[in-house]
């Protein structure tokens, strides 16, 4: 099979706006100008999750869940359990406050990454405690290579210099001895997470091997994805806008470019893993 790009348009994603009481929140206010959405949560599901079931979108390799969550001011997810999953969360904007049964409590801002090895079981909560600004984060669940691992938590504060017109390598496999030493988060699976913020007309590239695949999401702005040997592309880039996603398959060198007319900074993230 040759290299290819399969676009997942934002319009095809399931949008969940659950009852606020389900997660311990008060009723939604009426007419609060600080809110950017009428419901406390607007979550875009890339794969089957909660009330959404689609056999054609159950997972992508070891990536089991990718949820794009928009949480309004002073709202969040009350304490709930997880087990046997590697959970990585990337903060797109706002401030995310995490608290768990391992004794961890911290607040992370834009560009930060956190991970949790749920393993034998852990309970945690996630909140936007800011009274004025919404919070947006991407939560990814990755199937671990082994069950019943000891629970663990870690995080890294966002570093814009590392991702500004560069690819920042945020997450790698604990068993990957070839991964750069400065990768801040290690998980129990052969998977990597990269992120970048591009100015207009700037590009970064990534070599995707024949035995690898990646799931990419355009977080903000407009992104052009191109590669010299993608089937049927005729050398033309694939355009993604905010909330669009794409499945990438190697072998090829993929170039990610912010076009001159992008409405904002082009911000994107992808999870790279073994091809399945």
Write out pLDDT tens, residues 254-268: 999 999 999 889 999
Nearest to 130 by CA among 92, 75, 74: 74
- Say which residues have a Cβ less than 8 Å from residue 121's Cβ, sequence separation at least 6: 81, 82, 83, 151
Q: Which residue reads 């070891």 in tokens?
A: 62
Confidence (pLDDT) at 1: 60
Summarised one tens digit per residue, pLDDT across range 103-142 is 999 999 999 999 999 999 999 999 999 999 999 999 999 9
Whole-Å CA distances, 115 to 19, 31, 39, 140, 260: 27, 36, 27, 9, 35
Beta-bridge partners for 168 = 195
Q: How far apart are CA 254 and CA 262, in angstroms?
A: 19
The DSSP symbol for 230 reads -
pLDDT category at 172 given cuts 50, 70, 90 is very high
Summarised one tens digit per residue, pLDDT across range 21-46 is 999 999 999 999 999 999 999 999 99
Please state the domain extents for the chain: 4-274
Q: Could you tell me where the DSSP H helices lie in the chain?
A: 160-163
* Residues 138, 66 contacting (CB under 8 angstroms): yes
- Say which residues have a Cβ less than 8 Å from residue 31's Cβ, sequence separation at least 6: none
Give the architecture-level CATH label for domain 4-274.
Sandwich (2.60)
């Amino acid at each position: 099979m040759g290299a290819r790009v399969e676009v997942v348009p934002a319009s095809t994603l399931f949008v969940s706006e659950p009852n606020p009481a389900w997660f311990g929140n008060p009723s939604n206010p009426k007419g609060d100008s600080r809110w950017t959405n009428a419901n406390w949560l607007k979550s875009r599901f890339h794969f089957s999750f909660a009330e959404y079931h689609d056999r054609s979108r159950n997972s992508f390799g070891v990536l089991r869940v990718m949820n794009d969550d928009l949480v309004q001011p002073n709202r969040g997810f009350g304490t709930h359990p997880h087990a046997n999953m590697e959970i990585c969360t990337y903060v797109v904007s706002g401030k995310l406050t995490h608290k768990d049964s391992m004794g961890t409590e911290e607040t992370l801002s834009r560009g930060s990454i956190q991970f949790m090895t749920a393993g034998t079981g852990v309970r945690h909560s996630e909140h936007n405690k800011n009274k004025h600004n919404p919070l947006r984060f991407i939560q990814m669940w990755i199937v671990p290579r082994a069950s019943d691992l000891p629970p663990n938590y870690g995080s890294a504060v966002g570093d814009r210099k590392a991702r500004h017109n560069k690819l920042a390598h945020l997450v790698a496999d604990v068993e990957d001895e070839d991964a750069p030493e400065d990768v801040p988060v290690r998980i129990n699976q052969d998977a990597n997470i990269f992120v970048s913020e591009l100015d207009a007309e700037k590009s970064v590239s990534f070599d995707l091997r024949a035995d690898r695949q990646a799931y990419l999401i355009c977080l903000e702005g407009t992104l052009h994805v191109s590669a010299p040997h993608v089937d049927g592309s005729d050398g033309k880039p694939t355009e993604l806008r905010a909330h669009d996603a794409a499945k990438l398959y190697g072998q090829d060198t993929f170039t990610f470019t912010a076009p001159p007319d992008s409405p904002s900074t082009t911000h994107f993230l992808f999870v790279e893993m073994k091809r399945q």
